[in-house]
Structure 1
Amino acid sequence: MIENARAFLKQQGLDQWQTSAYPASTDILADIKNGVGYVLKQDGEIVGYGAVITGVEPAYEQIQGQWLTQNDAYVTVHRLAISDKYRGKALGQQFFTAVFDMFADYGDFRVDTHPDNQIMQHILTTLGFQACGIVIYESERIAFQKVTRDDSQLKNG
């Protein structure tokens, strides 16, 4: 699935996931070992994968811009890939919606994407994420955040 996503990004003219081995099978195995690798299933088949990490993302500490909140307990989604057999069926949105439900007590969700990845940016803005600035994760990325609770309700580090 990761290799198919890498090929799809290349077809879109994006250098995202092209210039390094990221994400490599070792990244996915580490996600699984650390309990942060999640799959989306449909009719018993795995149709999506992503890493869902809670707490501080070191790459997000230095942002050219500003996060909506100054919270240490947030949820970050990395390495989202959807099966090429199911592309175009809003499964990226379904993955994020499941994350919102599973991690609702955090109320603060962050993600980054390639500046030219219009598909992911569309998914994120459709789901109510706001662009907050630029971070360096693999290379320069647009950082997005969605806050579903006010500051007094957010889970704190």
Structure 2
Amino acid sequence: MSKDTSTLLPLNPMHLPEPPSWFPLAWGWWTLIASVIVGLLIVWLLLYRKKRHLAAKKTAQRLMASHQKPADAIELVRQAALCYFPREEIAQLTGKEWYEFLDSQLNQPVFIANYELWQQALYSKHPIQETHTLLQDCSFWIDQALPPKRKRRSARG
């Protein structure tokens, strides 16, 4: 029996093929990579667009903290409104029409109720006591009305 085992033919060891490599990638992987890149680009563009859209509001909020006079504050409100609304619509508004426009952008009107106070603050030589209230109204309008909501914009037009 031992003689039979020695008569076996000498065989070379088994040769296995190389394991598959990662490259070149299959088309599914390329599609996944392209989809992720396009998705990240879209998200970045949306965030950049939103930041640019809110830039005027943030600037107005920052500047509002430094204004102490109602005339300066209402001018800042007009400038902020010009950034978001059509110039042809805003530039022609004066007096009650201007305050009605401001109130139309808010859920609770605050400017028409203080119309006489605004007129005193803007055109009187003597300072008024309610300056803080008027400044708060302007700050409230910037916080609540900007940027304009679509439903409010279409309700005006």
TM category, shorter: under 0.3
Computing the radius of gyration over CA atoms, which structure comes out larger, 1 or 2?
A: 2
TM-score, normalising length: structure 1: 0.24
**Higher percent of residues as strand:** 1
More helix by share: 2
Q: Which structure would you say has the larger RCO, counting Cα contacts within 8 Å and 6 or more residues apart?
A: 2
